[in-house]
Amino acid sequence: MINKYIIEYAINALLRQGYKSFFIVFVFTLLTFLLTSVFFITNSMKYELGSTADALPEIMIQDLKGGRHSDIDVSLVEKILALKGVSDAVARVWGYYYFENAGVYFSLVGVDTFEEQYSGTLSKIVSEFEASDTLSSSMIIGAGVRDIMTKSYYKEYFNFIKPDGSIKKVNIAGVFDTDTALESNDMIVMSKDNIREIFDMPQDKATDITVKVANPEEIATIVSKLELMFPTARVLSKDDIKISYENIFNYKSGIFLALFIISIFTFFIIIYDKASGLSSEEKKEIGILKALGWRIEDVLKEKFYESFILSLFSYFLGVFLALGFVYIFQAPLLRDIFIGYSDLKPSFELPFIFDLQTLALVFFLSVPVYIAATIIPSWKTATLEADEVIR
């Protein structure tokens, strides 16, 4: 049964301790904030990478010359379509364009309105603008690209510099936005002919070829057939790219893991100091309470309320600060550990991912441990006689 008088005494005890309570709240909140921020960033980045990988084509074929990526012949599409199990093959025309004035790279993606698009984002753009024939003469840009271009006073058109030094002016017909910022934030969609002109790419060449398989169970078989058919080409499945993303993510996560271990180690140093014994003043207080008639369970209740109030307040304060830091201020400095290439790409916002498992993990790693570290030495002292404790 909850005793409001003991709770009131516990609150007053925390206030009497002043500096000590403030120090514990500060350290506890800081560690909770740090750990929760790390998990929030991790969850958001995992969601973005997973969503981006899901939007990729099932199989991609790239031509290699001297171990480097080279343009591929468009004529290979007919050979690929002849394979049993392949439902569609499209020659993609795309590339990275460096906008020197802003110091960022844009992803230029070419589309033809009569082709089946490999991603939902491109299908939506084509279906929206194909009737007006906009894509043949203009471009559709992502929200991040718009922000970068607006800062450089490109609001209605953009001048692309071709390899020969001449300028290709392309009008901006619209802006698109999707749920996956990594997919669309740096993307510019226009016709394949325009991109070929910007990159000086011949009409019979493409960047790569995407392959759609009718039965997902046959993807590995089709990959093997394509590797035999084109021994000098690189054949990548969606799963291969997902593994590549995960490897990069796991490497970056190692830095966060080191940060996590340091934070936990620091926290348990505090816990060890707390559990190693009470101060002489705390022991004297318990002895006086026992002399006044407090039972052992009353003393333990008061210490429980004291540690519970302090740790729970610090936990919620740390979580709320982490939510604001990550999803309002976009985690400056910390998120750069994951997206170190952001200085070459338009910045994007971390999507809000609320994971109860993350909050539960941080809670059970901190609050119950701190309560136990307070209760155990208090119990040892409370079992002694009052006069022995006071002496």
Q: Where are the domains of the chain?
A: 4-52+245-390, 58-236
| Higher pLDDT among residues 71 and 355, named by residue | 71
For the stretch 91-131, pLDDT in tens is 999 999 999 888 888 999 999 878 888 777 788 888 877 65
SS3 sequence of the chain: CCCHHHHHHHHHHHHHHCHHHHHHHHHHHHHHHHHHHHHHHHHHHHHHHHHHHHCCCCEEEEEEECCEEECEECCHHHHHHCCCCEEEEEEECEEEEEECCCCEEEEEEEECCCCCCCCHHHHHHHHHHCCCCCCCCEEEEEHHHHHHHHHCCCCCEEEEECCCCCEEEEEEEEEECCCCHHHHCCEEEEEHHHHHHHHCCCCCEECEEEEEECCHHHHHHHHHHHHHHCCCEEEEEHHHHHHHHHHHHHHHHHHHHHHHHHHHHHHHHHHHHHHCCCCHHHHHHHHHHHHCCCCHHHHHHHHHHHHHHHHHHHHHHHHHHHHHHHHCCCCCCCHHHCCHHHHHCCCCCCCCCCCHHHHHHHHHHHHHHHHHHHHHHHHHHHCCCHHHHHC
Higher-pLDDT residue of 114 and 387 is: 114
User: How do residues 254-282 score in pLDDT, each as one tens digit?
Assistant: 666 666 677 677 677 767 666 665 666 77
Query: Confidence band (pLDDT; 50, 70, 90) for 247?
Result: low
Report whether pLDDT(335) > 70: yes
pLDDT of residue 227: 92
Instruction: Say whether pLDDT at 345 is over 60.
Output: no
What is the pLDDT averaged over residues 160-169? 93
Q: Note the pLDDT of residue 207.
A: 95
pLDDT band for 342, please (50, 70, 90 cuts). Answer: very low
Res 203: pLDDT: 92
Q: Return the pLDDT at 50.
A: 74
pTM (predicted TM-score): 0.72
